[in-house]
Amino acid sequence: MKIGIVGLGFVGLSLTSVLASKGFNVVGIDVNKEKCSQISKGIPPFFEPDLEKTLRNGLRKKLEIKSDFSVIHDCDLIFVTVGTPQNRTGAIDLSIIKKAIASIGNNIKVSKKQQTILIKSTVVPGTVKDIILPILEKNSKKKAGRDFGLISNPEFLQESTAIKDTKFPHAVVLGGYKTKFMKKVQEFFTKLHPNSPIIITNHQTAEMIKYANNSFLATKISFINQLSNICQNIPGANIDDIAKTIGLDPRIGRLFLNAGPGYGGSCLPKDMKALINFADRIGVKPSFLNEVEKTNQKQITNMISLLERKMGSINRKKITILGTAFKPETDDIRDSISIKLIKKLIEKGARIIVHDPKAIENTKKIFLNKIEYSESIINALTNSQCAIIMTQWKEYSKINNNTIRRMNKKLIIDSRRILADKNIDADYQAIGIGNNN
């Protein structure tokens, strides 16, 4: 059996590497030739724990990387993992996936195999049946369900644990008609993930499951963030103790209750906006989802208000930002709240210096010489009038009185409460912990 994977981003490259390292005959396909050439040499285009090792392991076995779609005609399973970004209105932009599907259609046309296409990309309900299926049938001159299979197979991996999540998914969702293709794919996944539940449903439900999953995670974060804002106004109240305790109730669960500066990254903000836009389009007012988003956007405003309350005007003040990655163990800064905060502080005239263990190169691409960059935490803090901890990198938990000794004014705003238990000789303001001053 040969497996093709179209689109070598986080999802596609993780899947490619994991399947190849397990010995499957895999071809990873991406239109970006430069990216393909790097990946063929065992160099991932982004940082993800264990990815490089897994990719190299795969390359020693039966893995090929191609920028030419013609290899698709020889594949039995074809996973589509291309991006589905948002357009200016927040709606989903299907242009990349439509193009990829058209190329896949053209190539399955000449295949003698009974192929199955699995859509992993996040798409709003109805997309597979109403848009992807017609393009495939038109370009291949074949019939879905008879000549080829088409299955919705949403992905739930998280960046920073992508390899582990790809190897051990909490669930496998297969959406589509109960055809011979579905049966084969079900067998494939049962062998691949013997301990993961497999949910078989229709296309539109599978598509909606993905949005339900991400919007629920976003809801948990906005819920705890709103509570954290309340706590901040109750002297002595601590959001972490609250989250830890309510998380013990199995009906609530302990994960995704870490209060912070709001959710960022390439998925939750985009998928929330796409779902809101979709609901509006089909005539359902998504008032609750809108509130989740509004609460998220307010977090950054609240942080700036706190900063101005403590510093007065921030014009010309030197501010250190610790962490630009949207979460630890990644170099990804897409839709990172830290990047948004820096933009707002620059608008207000602040002089910014940033530190991040992995994301400095990506940060430089955005701010060029508008801000300063530091490779060490101590240097980033030298002469600074305020430090803002944005990403919970474990390096930052080691900050102590010695690390901050060269700060000009010892004001620390900790959006992740990493230093809450330390005896720091500074004006320490933690998001979610009530303070008297």
Residues taking part in catalysis: 267
CB of 69 to ligand UGA, least distance (A): 24
Considering only CA atoms, which of 291, 284, 314, 218 is closest in space to residue 257? 218
Based on CB atoms, which residue is closest to ligand UGA, 77 or 221? 221
As a whole number of angstroms, the distance between CA 207 and CA 4 comes to 21
Least distance to ligand UGA, CB of residue 77, Å: 20
Determine which residue in the list 63, 120, 152, 155 makes contact with ligand UGA, applying CB under 6 A: 155
State the pairing for strand pair 318-322/351-355.
Answer: parallel
Residue 206 interacts with ligand UGA (CB under 6 A)? no
**Using the rule CB under 6 A, which residue among 265, 323, 357, 432 binds ligand UGA?**
265
Closest CB to ligand UGA among 136 and 275?
A: 275
Alpha-carbon radius of gyration of the chain: 24
Q: Which of 6, 268, 274, 339 binds ligand UGA (CB under 6 A)?
A: 268
Q: How far is the CB of 167 from ligand UGA (least distance, A)?
A: 15
What string marks each residue from 382 to 401 as x (binds ligand UGA by CB under 6 A) or -? --------------------
Q: Which stretch binds ligand UGA (CB under 6 A): 68-76, 256-264, 285-293, 304-312?
A: 256-264
**Count of CA atoms in the C-beta half-sphere (13 A) of 419:** 27
**257: contact with ligand UGA by CB under 6 A:** yes
Q: Does 267 bind ligand UGA (CB under 6 A)?
A: yes
CB 390 within 8 A of CB 380: no
Verify binding: residue 256, ligand UGA, rule CB under 6 A: yes
Candidate ranges 20-28, 126-134, 257-265, 305-313; the one touching ligand UGA (CB under 6 A): 257-265
At 145, the amino acid letter reads G
Tell me how many degrees the CA angle 279-280-281 measures, rounded to the nearest 5: 90
Nearest to 274 by CA among 352, 228, 214, 193: 214
User: Which residue number places its CB atom closest to ligand UGA?
Assistant: 267
Stretch that binds ligand UGA, among 21-29, 36-44, 74-82, 266-274 (CB under 6 A): 266-274
Q: Does 240 bind ligand UGA (CB under 6 A)?
A: no
- Nearer Cβ to ligand UGA, position 264 or 357? 264
Asked if 222 is part of the footprint of ligand UGA (rule: CB under 6 A), the reply reads: no
**Contact range with ligand UGA by CB under 6 A, out of 52-60, 61-69, 102-110, 261-269:** 261-269
- Nearest-approach distance from CB 106 to ligand UGA, in angstroms: 28
Answer for the pair 141, 247: CB distance below 8 angstroms, yes or no: no
Q: CA 290, CA 287: separation in Å to the nearest integer?
A: 5
Residue 17 binding ligand UGA, by CB under 6 A: no
Binding test (CB under 6 A) with ligand UGA, winner from 51, 78, 108, 159: 159
Residue among 136 and 242 whose Cβ is closer to ligand UGA: 242
Q: Is 163 in the site for ligand UGA (CB under 6 A)?
A: no
Query: Which residues fall within 8 angstroms of residue 351, CB to CB, at 6 or more apart?
Result: 316, 317, 318, 319, 371, 372
By CB under 6 A, tell whether 327 contacts ligand UGA.
yes
Q: Does 239 bind ligand UGA (CB under 6 A)?
A: no
Number of neighbouring beta carbons within 10 Å of residue 349: 11
Which string of DSSP letters, residue by residue, matches 181-239?
A: HHHHHHHHHHHH-TTS-EEEE-HHHHHHHHHHHHHHHHHHHHHHHHHHHHHHTSTT-BH
Q: Which of 409, 401, 394, 345 is nearest to 378 (CA)?
A: 401
Q: Does 300 bind ligand UGA (CB under 6 A)?
A: no
Sites for ligand UGA among residues 104-123 (CB under 6 A): 122
Helices (H) and strands (E) in the chain, counts: 15, 14
Give start and end residues of each alpha helix (H) in 233-314. 239-247, 268-281, 287-311
How far apart, in whole angstroms, are the C-alpha atoms of residue 4 and residue 71?
Answer: 8
Whichever of 258 and 385 has its CB closer to ligand UGA, that residue is 258
Is residue 156 a contact residue for ligand UGA (CB under 6 A)? yes
| Segment lying near ligand UGA (by CB under 6 A), choices 38-46, 67-75, 255-263, 290-298 | 255-263
CB-count burial class (<10 Å; 0-12, 13-18, 19+) for 389: buried
Binding of residue 414 to ligand UGA (CB under 6 A) = no
228, 239 Cβ separation under 8 angstroms = yes
Instruction: Round to whole Å and give the CA distance between 207 and 121.
Output: 9
- Binding residues for ligand UGA (CB under 6 A): 122, 155-159, 214, 217, 221, 256-258, 260, 263-265, 267-268, 271, 326-327
